[in-house]
Chains A and B, each alone.
Chain A
Amino acid sequence: MQHEPPARPPSPSAIAVRNLRKDFLAPGGDRSFTVLDSISLTVDPGEFVSIVGPSGCGKSTLLNILAGIESYEAGCVDVAGHAGKANSQPRIGYVFQTPRLLNWLTVRDNILFVLEAQRIPQPRWDERIAKYLRMVGLAGQERNYPLRLSGGMQQRVAIARALAIEPDILLMDEPFSHLDAITARKMRLDLTEILATARPTILFVTHDLAEAVFLSDRIYMMNTKPARIFKEVIVPIPRPRGPEDSKVLDLEKALVSEFFAAVETKA
């Protein structure tokens, strides 16, 4: 990872991104275009921050950069204070749009896979698996296979998997967008309950403004081609919240027109 020398003392943020730029080569290979342009954002420890933007605007690319599997052209990326330190890796849990489970392994072995990857000592495995499966409401499913579970349950396993490594940060890329509306609503409610206990730092990406307002402490709004953050909003609504609470709906209404105006001009 490249970085500029910090201009000020290391921030206490869990995630700090400054002026990030990412370019892609156009198919055909001769021209490049900028996907992410001067992205700056922060996430404090324990915060739930959402990025809301249209699909395909580069939100997944941003998460991939934070996860360390994608390179970038310019800017500074600091995750849990690990910027620029060789061989240090922040613990990152990632929940993708599709569960990305290993279908040939049991639920238990799927979680075990990441525990082994993160070199978590073996004696801790059983308790972690049991604890986080219980947290997502799947206690007792250890020996089942992913293809025998519904889409919602598979995604819960993916969430348990990400939580089981007790990550510094949790990245979530539109995790409920492939579920039907009823399942998705339930999953959101369950997520807030899980987070009340576990309290991780979360960067959540979605195209659904209502979802962002319900779940987050702060929202960054992003438009596309190239992706830029055009607004930052604090969500001052106290928890616990209900998805149909008047305060939630009011804030969403207030933001909606501005959001759609900004993203539709570029669509």
Chain B
Amino acid sequence: MPSGVRSAALRAASIAALLLLWWAGSQLMRAPDVLPGPAAIARTIASDLASTGPEGQSAYFHIGITLARIAITFAASMLVGTAVGLAMGISRTLEGALMAIIPLLLTVPTILMVFLAVMWLGFSEAGGLVAVMTVVAPYVAVNIFEGTRAIDKSLIEMGLTFRASRALLVRKVYLPQLMPYIFSAFRYAFGMTWKVVALAETFGLKYGIGYMFFFWFEQFNMRQVLAWIVIFVILMLVLEHGVFARLESRAFFWRDSAARHSPA
């Protein structure tokens, strides 16, 4: 069968197999609290979405808060990280100075950062923001910095022989070469951001998906814990693959070389 159809079939089979495995596991471990099956979780999710949860807030509220936190902390980290990375690319002194500290920041475990942020800034949004930024921004900075070092100088030279102004060079030669690095930093930073947000919500922030994880965990409510995990996973999968992958392929379509043979 044609490869496109075959891939689609395999993917469908894959998801089906996963659900099947899950269901089989839930049947094997008969005590429902150990591994509720897909159907039970689906029902739980539906009822969560339809009703008001504990603390008097709807599920949509928690989801919304988490998404908002992710959006804000992600944007802040990307901005700061990119600015720092670019600055490091321009100034060798800054590069030397920061390359001494950044690896240190990258080594500190996330949980320590979250604990510190909560202990110093309290159970506040500021704490969450700082926790995310201290984890994600250095990572972005290093990525962008490496991008600046990978710029093809022969193209800048070419621009100079044609007397292109600095602004033109930055716009048309420098920045487009940074785009792949910005994008990859984007994707990884996004992945890191929501993980830190989930952790921060578990320990120190009120409301949000992470908060719900911990709430139901403390009550040993397996069904709810799994339900919220599934909600989170689906949301993140949609964002990562639906949004990012599409953006990326559209931005970089010029990279495909044609298979057809052209005469010289």
Q: Is B172's CB under 8 angstroms from A113's CB? A: yes
User: For residue B255, which residue of chain A has the nearest CB?
Assistant: A147
Identify which of A118, A148, A149, A165 gathers the most chain B CB atoms within 10 Å of its CB: A148
The listed residue (B157, B256, B257, B258) touching A69 by CB distance below 8 A is B157
In the complex, A92 has a CB within 8 A of chain B: yes
Interface size class of A (residues with CB under 8 A): 35 or more
A67-102 contacts to B, CB under 8 A, are: 67-69, 89, 92-94, 96, 98, 100, 102
B132-183 contacts to A, CB under 8 A, are: 154-155, 157-165, 168, 172-173, 176, 179
The listed residue (A94, A147, A151) touching B162 by CB distance below 8 A is A94
In the complex, B264 has a CB within 8 A of chain A: yes
A227 to B119 alpha-carbon distance, docked (Å) = 69
Residues of A contacting B162 in the complex (Cβ-Cβ under 8 angstroms): 92-94, 113-114, 117-118, 165
With A69-B160, A69-B161 as known contacts, state yes or no: A148 contacts B264, CB within 8 Å: no
Residues of A contacting B262 in the complex (Cβ-Cβ under 8 angstroms): 148-150, 153
User: For residue B158, which residue of chain A has the nearest CB?
Assistant: A100
User: For residue B260, which residue of chain A has the nearest CB?
Assistant: A148
Q: Is B157's CB under 8 angstroms from A147's CB? A: no
A103 to B158 alpha-carbon distance, docked (Å) = 13
In the complex, A45 has a CB within 8 A of chain B: no
In the complex, A130 has a CB within 8 A of chain B: no
The listed residue (A104, A117, A151) touching B163 by CB distance below 8 A is A117
A196 to B172 alpha-carbon distance, docked (Å) = 33
Q: Is A96's CB under 8 angstroms from B154's CB? A: yes
- Whole-angstrom distance from the CB of A115 to the nearest CB of chain B? 9
Q: Is A151's CB under 8 angstroms from B264's CB? A: yes
The listed residue (A93, A98, A100, A152) touching B264 by CB distance below 8 A is A152
User: For residue A187, which residue of chain B has the nearest CB?
Assistant: B264
Q: Is A117's CB under 8 angstroms from B264's CB? A: no
A118 to B161 alpha-carbon distance, docked (Å) = 10
In the complex, A186 has a CB within 8 A of chain B: yes
Residues of A contacting B256 in the complex (Cβ-Cβ under 8 angstroms): 147-148
A186 to B263 alpha-carbon distance, docked (Å) = 11
In the complex, A183 has a CB within 8 A of chain B: yes
- Whole-angstrom distance from the CB of A197 to the nearest CB of chain B? 20
A197 to B47 alpha-carbon distance, docked (Å) = 78
With A148-B256, A148-B257 as known contacts, state yes or no: A118 contacts B163, CB within 8 Å: yes
A55 to B205 alpha-carbon distance, docked (Å) = 66
Residues of A contacting B120 in the complex (Cβ-Cβ under 8 angstroms): none
- Whole-angstrom distance from the CB of A176 to the nearest CB of chain B? 11
Interface size class of B (residues with CB under 8 A): 20 to 34
Q: Is B154's CB under 8 angstroms from A98's CB? A: yes
Residues of B contacting A182 in the complex (Cβ-Cβ under 8 angstroms): 264
- Whole-angstrom distance from the CB of A124 to the nearest CB of chain B? 16
User: For residue B259, which residue of chain A has the nearest CB?
Assistant: A148
Q: Is B168's CB under 8 angstroms from A100's CB? A: no
The listed residue (B154, B160, B176, B264) touching A179 by CB distance below 8 A is B264
Residues of A contacting B263 in the complex (Cβ-Cβ under 8 angstroms): 150
Q: Is A105's CB under 8 angstroms from B172's CB? A: yes
With A100-B158, A151-B264 as known contacts, state yes or no: A89 contacts B176, CB within 8 Å: no
User: For residue B258, which residue of chain A has the nearest CB?
Assistant: A148
A38-70 contacts to B, CB under 8 A, are: 64, 67-69
Q: Is A147's CB under 8 angstroms from B158's CB? A: no
User: For residue A96, which residue of chain B has the nearest CB?
Assistant: B158
Q: Is B161's CB under 8 angstroms from A94's CB? A: yes
With A94-B158, A98-B154, A148-B256 as known contacts, state yes or no: A113 contacts B264, CB within 8 Å: no
Q: Is A68's CB under 8 angstroms from B264's CB? A: no
12 contacts between A and B (CB under 8 A): A64-B161, A69-B157, A92-B163, A103-B254, A105-B176, A113-B159, A113-B162, A113-B164, A147-B256, A148-B256, A153-B264, A187-B264
Which residues from chain A sit less than 8 Å from chain B, CB to CB? 64, 67-69, 89, 92-94, 96, 98, 100, 102-105, 113-114, 116-118, 145, 147-153, 165, 171, 179, 182-183, 186-187
10 other contacts beyond A94-B161, A94-B162, A150-B264, with CB at 8 A cut-off? A69-B160, A92-B162, A93-B162, A102-B172, A103-B255, A114-B164, A116-B168, A151-B264, A153-B264, A171-B161
Closest 4 CB pairs of A and B: A152-B264, A117-B164, A148-B258, A100-B158
